[in-house]
Amino acid sequence: MNFPSKRIDEFKILIPRHGKMNTDAIIYASKKLWEKIKNDESVTQIINVASLPGIVGKALAMPDIHAGYGFPIGGVAAFDTENGIISPGGVGYDINCGVRLISTYLKKKDVEEKIEKVLATIFSLVPSGVGSRSRILKLSKREMKEVVKEGARWAVSNGLGETEDLEFIEENGIIKGAEPDAISQRAYERGMGQLGTLGSGNHFIEIDYVEEIYDQEKANIFGIFKNQVVILLHTGSRGFGHQIADDYIKVMRRNQKKYGINLPDQQLACAPFSSVEGQDYWAAMKGAVNYAFANREIITHRIREAFLSVFKKGYRKLGLKLIYDVAHNIAKIEEFEIEKKRKSLIIHRKGATRAYPPHHSLIPQKYRESGQPVLIPGDMGRYSFVLAGTEKAYKETFGSSCHGAGRILSRHQARKAVGQRNIIEEMEKRNITVLAESRRTVVEEVPEAYKDVADVIEVVKGAGISLPVARLKPLGVIKG
């Protein structure tokens, strides 16, 4: 540990400004988690983020922090729109990777005997795995450009989603200002056949039941009740977003010297937000954000079709309503008070979830009294959590919280640790059914590859940046 650090309180570590840092860094971590984090490369990465030009406030790391490309996963940073930068590494390769939670009227007992059939039906309708391509949607470039501009609304207008869902998606499912011509031909080629697909890695569709309610009033507002069956969906912009990130990292590296930006790590490749390169990436990134919103909406449509097939009732009778959809790999212009003045800032959230408080105008009217739903998946063998955003998060973390459990084993380390164990059989012994396109993905996503998400939730709750509403337990999981 070659950096100064000081524990501020039970849940926060301060790394004071030193060396080339332009500001302090704050890491949200309990004593238990700090032991896992303090020697990780991610700490060096958040120090590097604090060294970037035009950073406003502190560089922040959530308790699920782990090493990423340039920026740590679990990192939050705000930059001045006039004098600051934008960095593809601060968004991530999977642009608008995010989570949505779907309710049902069904109870655990209604589904557990049919879980294999439910999963198999969804599995047949939603392609998954590395490079997975839709067997149904084959978009032209013209249609792709429409998706880039319209986001989830494109899905709805093409009969692949429901109008009522749009209110419960961050940005209502469309971030304005996407520019189709800022996106490469290669990105379009990769994205044309992948809309409506899950992908691989840590992406999943999970059938859960509500195991515990912590805040009955907020649960009532969210439409959550004990033993209720709900669906968690985690995926993003697939190869389309990956290619956009790759393209613009190369662009920014080529032009780095032009702007006199000296980086401690070339993976932090960036450009002034107001520059041509910065604005081109911003416009292309928003196209990938919209693609991901459309992708999750189409997959939701397929999930509804699967439930209709198994339970012989329409989605409204089954209560398949969207509770919320929130991004956790994104950059957005948002307003915050800085030194008693309202300022527009470019907020980078990489592996971090927006957690807006009660009464904020940018969350659905339904959630104005509760605060925004914050959706935090755990690993496939334990539990996930639903929380609510807070005023403290808005003041301390630019309205941000954690996004998951956070890896403690790399994929290679996980494969080595598992060896020849049969993880699907181990999950069955925990009464969790797993379907996957490949054994490799299941092995890489073994529960012990992740921190216990309950430890992460303890920190965000203790720090007051999001408050638990319910705990979800898996019945069945689809992995890529």
For residue range 400-442, what is the model confidence (pLDDT) as tens digits? 999 999 999 999 999 999 999 999 999 999 999 999 988 999 9
Cβ neighbours for 353, distance < 8 A, ≥ 6 positions apart: 99, 326, 327, 328, 374, 375, 376, 400, 401, 402, 403
Residue 184, pLDDT > 80, answer: yes
Measure the CA–CA gap between 384 and 208, rounded to whole angstroms: 9
Report residue 457's pLDDT band, with 50, 70 and 90 as the boundaries.
Answer: very high
Burial of 55 (0-12, 13-18, 19+ CB in 10 A): buried
Note whether 285 and 244 are within 8 A (CB).
yes
Q: Pull the structure tokens for residue 36.
A: 């896992």
Measure the CA–CA gap between 336 and 326, rounded to whole angstroms: 19
Note whether 7 and 459 are within 8 A (CB).
no
pLDDT > 70 fraction of the chain, expressed in percent and rounded = 99
Catalytic residue among 242, 359, 403, 412: 403
Residue 261 per-residue DSSP state:
-
pLDDT > 90 fraction of the chain, expressed in percent and rounded = 94
Would you call 403 a catalytic residue per the annotation? yes
Domain ranges of the chain: 6-479
Q: Pull the structure tokens for residue 221.
A: 């507002």
Class of domain 6-479: alpha beta
pTM beyond 0.95? yes
Cβ neighbours for 244, distance < 8 A, ≥ 6 positions apart: 95, 183, 184, 187, 237, 281, 284, 285, 287, 288
User: Would you state the pLDDT for residue 480?
Assistant: 78
